[in-house]
Amino acid sequence: MLEKITQRIESFISEIGNPRIKALSSRITSGKMLRSKLVLAICPNHPDVVDLCAIIEMIQSASLLHDDVIDESYIRRGNPSVNAVFGNKNSIMLGDVFYSKAFFELTKMDNRIAKSISNAVVELSRGEIDDVFMGEEFNTDKGKYFEMLQDKTASLISASAESAAILANLNHQKYKAYGSNLGVAFQIIDDLLDVTQESMTLGKPSMNDFKEGKTTLPYIYLYEALPKDEKKILISYFKQDKPEIRTWLKERFEKYHIISLVQSEAKRYANLAISSIKDENNKTLEEIVQNMINREF
Ligand code: FPP
Ligand code: MG
């Protein structure tokens, strides 16, 4: 089924009828397709399901094409990013093509789905702006971090689950809550893997967030745990990337049990996701939560 979605994306792109767009988009590798897996787990048999997944994946790709330019990231999913190979202009323009074609297709869907997905794109753009501006200084405010993450990551995951529930005539509020909590847990795990995994496993550089100016949950918890003088040292290291700083950070993550603290927070959201749909009897959705928590990249 995931293969069918990839093919639908290709056919949407072919419809635009421009060989340059085709060539550029052939460089995009599909990721885990978490959002499609959710949709398929909620309404596997609806005739519009492949279109809905293709639309969502194209919006997700558009946001990453823009994000890699904004973050100046040159590796995506283990390969050189589109901006690394073809430059920023092409990455932005290709993102625009993906985004607008997806929206054109979205207008053919149930109005409630169009509203849910388009509103999620407003939220994820708002989240990206907050993420960038929060990068100006070390952020010690957990509330702000969660708000940004709800927008940047959870919004589209939540809208995907909600839209699938609308297609399947299910209680869409429950699925929206499921997606929202799963999305928060997903990003917390992403932020955790950034500090625990090697770049080979991640398919992108490791310990990159701090260098990029992202004060993710591991760093906020570390700040809270450190004695006063070391809090100052941590702030002074913000956005730097030296081997001795990595060692300093790793030693303290271990000393203050930061990894397990962050894991517990992700699990708390994972449990909230599962309890949001507890009466829905959908084992696949529960498995998606478990696999997401246990993932290594
Ligand atoms: C990745 O975050 C980025 C996002 C999940 C969302 C980015 C959103 C935008 C750029 C707005 C897009 C707007 C339109 C119109 C499509 P990250 O940098 O923390 O994750 P990464 O490590 O995978 O790059
Ligand atoms: Mg990024």
Domain residue ranges in the chain: 1-30+49-108, 109-297
Average pLDDT, integer, range 246-255: 93
Note the pTM of the prediction, 2 decimals: 0.93
- Indicate whether residue 199 lines ligand 1 (CB < 6 A): no
Average pLDDT, the chain: 93
The pLDDT value recorded for residue 199 is 64
- Indicate whether residue 62 lines ligand 1 (CB < 6 A): yes
176 touches 253 (CB < 8 A)? no
Fold of 109-297: Farnesyl Diphosphate Synthase (1.10.600)
Q: Which atom of ligand 1 is nearest to the CA of 99?
A: 16
* Residue 75: DSSP 8-state: E
Collect residues with CB below 5 Å from ion ligand 2: 67, 71
| CATH number for the domain whose boundaries are 1-30+49-108 | 1.10.600.10
Asked if the domains at 1-30+49-108 and 109-297 fall in one CATH topology, the answer is: yes
- pLDDT tens readout for residues 156-195: 999 999 999 999 999 999 999 999 999 999 999 999 999 8
Q: Say whether pLDDT at 101 is over 90.
A: yes
d(CA 10, CA 46): 21
- Indicate whether residue 124 lines ligand 1 (CB < 6 A): yes
d(CA 58, CA 62): 6
Cα distances (Å, whole numbers) of residue 132 to 32, 138, 155, 215, 220: 25, 12, 17, 11, 17
Q: Say whether pLDDT at 139 is over 70.
A: yes
Among 95-104, 184-193, 202-211, where is mean pLDDT lowest? 202-211
- Indicate whether residue 216 lines ligand 1 (CB < 6 A): no
| Strand partners for 80 | 75
Among 62-76, 116-130, 189-203, 214-228, where is mean pLDDT lowest? 189-203
